[in-house]
Amino acid sequence: MKKVLSIAGSDCSGGAGIQADLKTFSAHGVFGMTVIASVVAENTFRVIEYQDIRPDIIEKQIDAVFEDIPPDALKIGMLSCKEGMLAVAGKLREWKPSNVVIDPVMYAKNGCALMDPDSIDTLIAEVVPLADVITPNIPEAEKMAGIRIYTQKDMRKAARIIHDMGCRAVLVKGGHSEGDATDILFDGSEFYSFSSPRIPTKNTHGTGCTYSSAIASNLALELPIRQAVARSKKYVTTAIANALEIGRGNGPTHHFYDLFQHGLSDVKNWREDIT
């Protein structure tokens, strides 16, 4: 069985963070492991507070996983501060994992900050170069690239700027735009776009976590990056189409164990374009 690790924050309400990651791993039939970097008191409509795990405890969790069950892929989610970023980056340089997916989480869906804005330089210098795929949403891509994004042309421009920071591929997600939900992948030479019709729902808590965990699972299952993103886009679209009306805010995506048998054919007008 393939093994996949999530290094991220815990969402006690179960829709995002480590909890969404484990549900996604199970749905993909891979063995999920976790390194908790922060404990977040949050729900579908607000973040109350978070406490970061001490950097040496983050490092020891990473050692515990790697010395015993080396993962076939890993994803990094919420790292709120410089100290946590440096701890993770140092350990990854030591253990040299393959198939690293980084979701540079900066805000929760409800707008609450999950990353100290002063850490962005550390994110760019220390964490981004470790990524085989980095998956910023539009506001995150704007912050990292230092440009405003209004069009798909701007998404491509941001992808190029972020690629120059030293990662292998960049996936700028279009969940925060209007019209179709179109994501742009740049692998350093070609752009690929992955698009689905926008689903009219407020229940999108955990979409980014679900997507990056699906990509890590599919890389662990030995798909090349482009195919891993294509299969993961179908997974996240179906998980949004079936999102749960739970809680007072943005309800969570839904993970089916039999999604691949029964769910994916429900995604109408699926498109993948090479541009």
Ligand X SMILES: Cc1ncc(COP(=O)(O)O)c(N)n1
Ligand Y SMILES: Nc1ncnc2c1ncn2[C@@H]1O[C@H](COP(=O)(O)OP(=O)(O)OP(=O)(O)O)[C@@H](O)[C@H]1O
Instruction: Just list the catalytic residues.
Output: 173, 204, 206-209
Note whether 163 binds ligand Y by CB under 6 A: no
Among positions 240, 251, 255, 263, the unique one binding ligand Y when judged by CB under 6 A: 240
Dihedral pair phi/psi, residue 262, rounded to 5°: -115, -20
Note whether 50 binds ligand Y by CB under 6 A: no
Note whether 209 binds ligand X by CB under 6 A: yes
Residue 157 vs residues 16, 153, 165: alpha-carbon distances, Å: 29, 6, 13
- Where b means 16+ CB within 10 Å and e means fewer, 254-266 reads bbeeebbeebeee
Note whether 119 binds ligand Y by CB under 6 A: no
Note whether 167 binds ligand X by CB under 6 A: no
Cα–Cα dist 172/190, whole Å: 14
Residues 171-210 close enough to bind ligand Y by CB under 6 A:
173-176, 181, 183, 196, 198-199, 201, 204, 206-209
* Side chain identity at residue 221, one-letter code: L
Select from 158, 168, 66, 86 the least CA-distant residue to 127: 86
Q: Would you tell me which residues interact with ligand X (CB under 6 A)?
A: 8-9, 11, 16-17, 40, 42, 77-78, 105, 108-109, 114, 205-209
Q: Would you tell me which residues interact with ligand Y (CB under 6 A)?
A: 16, 105, 109, 137, 173-176, 181, 183, 196, 198-199, 201, 204, 206-209, 211, 233, 236-237, 240
